[in-house]
Chain A
Amino acid sequence: GAVVSQHPSRVICKSGTSVKIECRSLDFQATTMFWYRQFPKQSLMLMATSNEGSKATYEQGVEKDKFLINHASLTLSTLTVTSAHPEDSSFYICSGSENYGYTFGSGTRLTVV
C-alpha cells in the first residue's frame, strides 16, 4: 500500500534555530500534502495544505513565515520550522492525499529547548 516516509522521527533543537521535516511518498504521487500539528493529548490540527509546484495554503492562525512549506516534487514535501521556540514543541505529522484516502507519515516529535 501507499507509504509516506517522514524524517526525522524525533528532533531536539535549541531555541532560535530552524528545523526541517521531510515527507516522501514512496510508491505514489502525492499531488497534495497536508501538514498537521498535535499537542499532547489533543487532536490533529491542520496547519497547511501544499500542492506540488504551488504555494501552500495555510489555515487561519498559522504563521506562514514561521512554518515554511515546500512541495517541489510529487514525492517530496518539507516543513521548516524557522527560529523555533519552546512553544513550537509539538508532534508534526504529514499526510499525502491519494484518490479519496490519506496516507500519514509516522510523525516528528519536535522539542525546542
Chain B
Amino acid sequence: AQKVTQAQTEISVVEKEDVTLDCVYETRDTTYYLFWYKQPPSGELVFLIRRNSFDEQNEISGRYSWNFQKSTSSFNFTITASQVVDSAVYFCALRERIQGAQKLVFGQGTRLTINP
C-alpha cells in the first residue's frame, strides 16, 4: 500500500513571506517518482516538478525549491517571497507500480492563501 500525506490542510501567509508545504510518502517500491502540482481556482493542474527516487538533489526553480529526503520519506516544497498569484491548492503525488500498473496517487492537498 502507498500513501501520500500532506498534513497541512490550509496555510495562510502574508505576501513576501516564505512558506513550506510538507509532503510525506510511503512506498515499498525502490523505484518511484514524486510530483508536485498546482491547482488554481480554475481547476486545471499545473505541473511543477517530477523527481525520481534515485535523485536526491534539491532543486531550485526561481522562487520555488524542493527538498527531497529519502531518509524521512519527505518531499517538501518551499516558495520564497510568496506572491498573491501563488494562491492555489498544491498537491504532492507519488507514482509507483500497483498491481502491475503505474498509478499516480495524490495527497489531500494544501490550500495556500497569500494575502496582500
Contact = CB atoms under 8 A, between A and B. Distances in A.
Given A43-B109, A46-B105, A100 B43 contact: no
Contacts of A44: 45, 91, 106
B57 to A, nearest CB: 17
A43 B92 CA distance: 10
Interface residues of B, number: 22
A1 to B, nearest CB: 9
Given A42-B108, A43-B108, A100-B50, A93 B45 contact: yes
A32 B102 CA distance: 10
Classify the interface of chain A: helix, strand, loop or mixed: strand
Interface in B11-52: 33, 35, 37, 42-45, 47, 50, 52
A64 interface: no
A43 B107 CA distance: 7
A100 B44 contact: no
A14 B65 CA distance: 46
A100 B33 CA distance: 8
Interface of B: 33, 35, 37, 42-45, 47, 50, 52, 91, 95, 101-109, 111
10 contacts: A42-B108, A43-B91, A43-B107, A49-B103, A93-B43, A102-B47, A104-B37, A105-B44, A106-B42, A107-B45
Interface of A: 32, 34, 41-44, 46, 49, 57, 91, 93, 95, 97, 100-107, 109
6 smallest CB-CB distances across A and B, nearest first, come from A104-B45, A106-B44, A107-B43, A44-B106, A43-B106, A43-B108
